Amino acid sequence: MPESDAHQASLPPLKLNSPGKRILYVPYPLSTITEESCGGAEQILFLVEQEMHGRGHCTTVAACSGSKISGELIDTGGVAFTIEQLEERDIEQNSRTLQTIRRRANTEKEFDLVHDHGGRFWTNSAKFDTPLLLTLHLPRDFYPLGIFDDVPPNIYFNCVSQSQLNSFSDLQRIMGHVPNGIDIDRFPFCETKENYLVWLGRVCEEKGLHIATEVAERAGLPLVIMGPSYLFPSHQEYFDEQVQPFLDRNPNFTYVGSPSVAEKAAILSKARALLAPSLVEETSSLVSMEAMACGTPVLAFRRGALPEVVIDGVTGMIADEIDEMVAAVRHVDAISPRACHQHVKKHHQRSRMGHDYERIYEAIVNPALAEEQARVFARQPEIISAI
C-alpha cells in the first residue's frame, strides 16, 4: 500500500456531507483581506474563506475596513500603515471579534469554529467556548518563548508544511499540516521565457534580496525585483544600504514595488527563473508556487519547507550557497516549464487546500474525533499530508 494510502487508512472516517458550518476567520490586524493582499497568511485566509463559502459554509471575517470577502465582514476598524499602530489595532480588532463571538453565542448565528490566521487573537480563547483552529504560518522561533506553554483546551493547531510540523510536534491537539495552495487560474502558464530573473517577496534581509542581486549580477542577467512597501524602518535601511547599490550600477535591474496580481503574473510568466535565497527556515513559499504555476523554475536555498515546495531537478534547483545558485542559473533551462505547472496543479491547487481544511473542521467540531486525530498525528510524525 502506498504511504499516503496507508496514512489515510489509519485515520478515523470523516463525514463530509454534514450541514454547513458557521466559521469565523481572524487575520493579522494591520491588513485588509482582498484578492490583492500581499501577505502570505492574508492570501491563504482569502482563498480558504472563499473556498468554504463556495462549499456551502456560512463564513464571516473579522478584518480591517475595506476588506472584500465572500461571506460576511465584521469591520474591526481602519487600516494601520505603520508597525507602531500594531498594538492599538490589535486591541481594537480583538475586542470587536470577541464581542461578536459573545453576542452570537446561544443564538442561531453562533459560530461552530474560529479559524485564526493572524496569530494574534487565539490567546483570547479562554474567554469563550467555541473551538479555535490556529494555523501556524511562522517558523517556531518567530513565536514568543513560552507562548505555547499553557494552551486553553479549545485550541487546535495546524502547520503548513512537514518541516514546520516537525518543529511543532510537541504541541497538544496538533492537526497535522495543510500545504498552502494558490488560485492557479490567476497565474497563466507560459512556455516561452525571456532572459531575466525575478525576485519576489517582502523587502527585508531574511528574504535574501541582497543575495538575489549578487546572483543576478554574477550571472550577467537582468533582475526584476517585486516587493511590498516597507513596514519597519530597518527594512528601508536594508534596501538603501544593501540593495540600492546594485540597482545604481546595474541599469538592467528594475524595482517595481508592489504590483497587482495580474502584473505579478505577467512578469513571473516570462522570467527565466525565480530566485528564492531565503536565510530563514521558510514554512512555505507562495511566490514559488506562483512562479511554477506560470511554468517558471525556482532556484532556492535549502531552508525549511523550500525543498518541499521546489522539487530539486524537476521544478527548479536547490542550492546550499551563493556559488551553487549562480551555477544553477546557467543550467535552469534544463527544467521543463510544463513540469513546473503540472506540479502546482497536482499539489498546490486552492481546491485541495480547501478540501483539507474542511476535513480538519469536521474533526474539530467533533471533540472525540479531534482527540483521536491528534493522537494519530502524535504517533505518526512522518506524515506528509493533512488528514
Determine, yes or no, domain membership for 109: yes
pLDDT of residue 68 exceeding 50, the answer is yes
Residues 6+ apart with CB under 8 A from 185: none
CATH label of the domain that carries residue 304:
3.40.50.2000
Same domain, 220 and 203: yes
CA quadruple 187, 201, 163, 277: dihedral positive or negative? positive
Same domain, 113 and 197: no
Q: Using the structure block, give the residue that is written with the C-alpha cell 515546495.
A: 309
Same domain, 202 and 314: yes
Task: List pLDDT tens digits, range 203-224.
Answer: 999 999 999 999 999 999 999 9
Same domain, 355 and 339: no
Same domain, 334 and 360: no
**Which of 90, 40, 51, 45 is closest to 67 using CA atoms?**
45
Q: Report the pLDDT value the prediction gives residue 230, as an integer from 0 to 100.
A: 60
pTM of the model: 0.90
Same domain, 159 and 39: yes
Determine, yes or no, domain membership for 386: no
Same domain, 170 and 189: no
Same domain, 153 and 221: no
Domain that holds residue 64: 3-181+349-379
Q: Report the pLDDT value the prediction gives residue 22, as an integer from 0 to 100.
A: 97
Same domain, 137 and 72: yes
Q: Report the pLDDT value the prediction gives residue 14, as an integer from 0 to 100.
A: 44
**Which of 173, 132, 183, 140 is closest to 283 using CA atoms?**
140
Same domain, 9 and 158: yes
Same domain, 335 and 360: no
- 283 and 159 in contact (C-beta within 8 Å)? yes
- The Cβ of residue 70 has, within 10 Å, a number of other Cβ atoms equal to 14
Same domain, 360 and 343: no
- The Cβ of residue 353 has, within 10 Å, a number of other Cβ atoms equal to 21
Number of compact structural domains in the chain: 2
